[in-house]
Amino acid sequence: MNPYEKGSHAYKKAAVNTQDQGTLILMMYDGLVRFLKAGLLKMEARDLEGTHNNLVRAKDIVAELMASLNLEGSGEMGANLKALYGYMYNRLIDANVQKNPKMVEEVLSLVSELREGWRGVIDQRKKAGATPYAQTKGAIKPLNVEG
């Protein structure tokens, strides 16, 4: 790892460590969208390794989102979200094995909708002057974000 990469990694880690929980989830959705789009581009270019790597990274983010849910505190909504994450996770596995862009596009559509909804929740909380997510007890456990 060159010195610039080390500095970039440290900056990203510091940025993640100082964000509230809602912003971290939004960052996870952003990363997920980025890896899905990159996977589609690699798939179109017939770059099997690039496709695989991007879809695995996307799948890992979905797994982390699923693991971060607090099902006890979120009720039916949390259970539904966990089921949706499970569905997306399985679709990404199938898309990677079959190299099927339609499956990736389906997950991208779902994630984009979730991201926009989450962005709206964050904006509403900021307008209302609400306490950051990191200081509230909600439907989300701490995220493990590295790399």
- Domain positions in the chain: 19-119
Per-10-residue mean pLDDT for the chain, 147 residues long? 52 50 91 98 97 98 92 85 97 97 98 93 82 48 50
Q: Which of 109, 59, 119 is nearest to 86 (CA)?
A: 59
Which pLDDT score is estimated for 121?
86
Q: Which burial class, exposed, middle or buried, applies to 35 when counting CB atoms under 10 A from its CB (0-12, 13-18, 19+)?
A: buried
Helix (H), strand (E), coil (C) string for 25-49: HHHHHHHHHHHHHHHHHHHHCCCHH
Which pLDDT score is estimated for 40?
98
* Domain 19-119 coded CATH 3.40.50.1980: no
pTM: 0.75
Q: Which burial class, exposed, middle or buried, applies to 120 when counting CB atoms under 10 A from its CB (0-12, 13-18, 19+)?
A: exposed
Which pLDDT score is estimated for 126?
82
Which pLDDT score is estimated for 35?
98
